[in-house]
Amino acid sequence: MTDIQSVIISWYQENKRDLPWRRTKNPYFIWLSEVILQQTRVVQGMSYYEKFVEKYPKIEYLASANEQEVLSTWQGLGYYSRARNLHTTAKQITSEYKGVFPSSYEQILKLKGVGEYTAAAIASFAYDKPYAVVDGNVFRLLSRIFNIETPIDSTEGKKQFTYLANELMDKNQPALFNQAIMEFGALQCVPGTPNCEICPLLMFCEANKNKNVSSLPVKNGKTKVRNRYFLYFVKVDAQTETLLLRQKTETDIWQNMYEFPKIEFENLENMKEFCLINRGAIKMTSSLQKHVLSHQQLHAQFVYCSNSEIFNDEDTVEIPISELGSYPLPRLIDRFLEQNQLIFPDKP
């Protein structure tokens, strides 16, 4: 184990990326980075991390912001429950801990939106406590080094890999080792078919000896993806330069964000039939848009429509186009506005 530790740490010290959250021991900043990087690539998450740190340099600033402002700052990252949990936890730490981020693993784990991995990362990186981090990169690396075919998303697998990660971790420098093993998985022991010939852990890798690298790690069946069909009604007032939007208050994707009024259909055929029946009252804007979420695939059609009798305009508000930047919009809606350059359909 110690040989593997030293190889990973040595490789990290030569190959690590210079990332801003690695230059701090501030638990608030480390927590921000961990939440932002969930389901997000480092390249994309970097600018959001810097934006949050600049806008909310102290956790009290984040706690005192309203949710709409936080969602607007988060806009484009997706998985908006992360932003809501971030806001809720900031308020919790401000009220219960007087703005001081908790230092024990057990207290950190009780924070909203914080799981075992994130709690271990904060405890380790901020306080140098010996808790092994087990993210996707670590799962992959451990499964290959020890040639483990136990599914990583099974109860048995999670226990087995957590035990191994803790056994392998350098207890004398846990923060350094945790950063190193994750970076090794991210840059060297990559998914698919990594370049094993240049890997410094090649002599320890049981999966390589068994010609089993590309098939590891093993996962159980994939989560079923749900298809949804949205018809969005774009109502523009060219004279006042306003758009009709509504805030999603129901429990669903993009809760508390703003979107165009819409009708959801059971299937694509029903949506096409509705458009055909109402072709005199609506104007198609573009082809069908596909937007992929973690467990949902959205099929969206945008149409210009000035007749509110066709769609439900309850709870809608007229928003000046010049003020759209102040409203949190799902990426699907934001992308439509970008592609159409806010062109009014009735203007020459």
| Structure confidence by residue, pLDDT tens digits, 276-306 | 999 888 998 878 999 988 789 999 999 998 8
Check if 67 is active-site.
no
pLDDT band at 342 (very low <50, low <70, confident <90, very high): low
pLDDT at 309: 82
Model confidence pLDDT, tens digit, residues 201-239: 999 999 999 999 999 999 987 678 899 999 999 998 888
DSSP assignment of 68-133 equals HHHHHHHTTS--THHHHHHHHHHHHHHHHSTTPPP-SHHHHHTSTT--HHHHHHHHHHHH------
pLDDT at 76: 87
Query: Where exactly does CATH 3.90.79.10 map onto the chain?
Result: 226-340
CATH topology for 226-340 is Nucleoside Triphosphate Pyrophosphohydrolase (3.90.79)
pLDDT at 343: 47
pLDDT at 325: 84
pLDDT at 297: 93
Cα distance between residue 67 and residue 76, in whole Å: 16
pLDDT band at 346 (very low <50, low <70, confident <90, very high): very low
Q: What phi and psi values does residue 259 have, to the nearest 5 degrees?
A: -150, 170
Side-chain-side CA neighbours of residue 197 (13 Å): 0
Is residue 282 a contact partner of residue 306, using CB atoms and an 8 Å limit? no
CATH topology for 2-215 is Endonuclease III; domain 1 (1.10.340)
Who has greater pLDDT, 56 or 307? 56
Task: Give the residue-averaged pLDDT of 104-124.
Answer: 95
pLDDT at 222: 67
pLDDT band at 344 (very low <50, low <70, confident <90, very high): very low
Q: Which residues pair with 284 in a beta bridge?
A: 303
pLDDT at 295: 85
Model confidence pLDDT, tens digit, residues 37-57: 998 899 999 999 999 999 999
The single residue of 34, 50, 60, 338 carrying the catalytic annotation is 34
Cα distance between residue 92 and residue 89, in whole Å: 5
Residue 348 has pLDDT above 60, yes or no: no
Cα distance between residue 137 and residue 99, in whole Å: 32
Residue 153 has pLDDT above 60, yes or no: yes
pTM, two decimals, is 0.80
pLDDT at 345: 45
Who has greater pLDDT, 176 or 255? 176
Query: Where exactly does CATH 1.10.340.30 map onto the chain?
Result: 2-215
Helical packing angle, 27-36 and 81-96, nearest 10°: 160
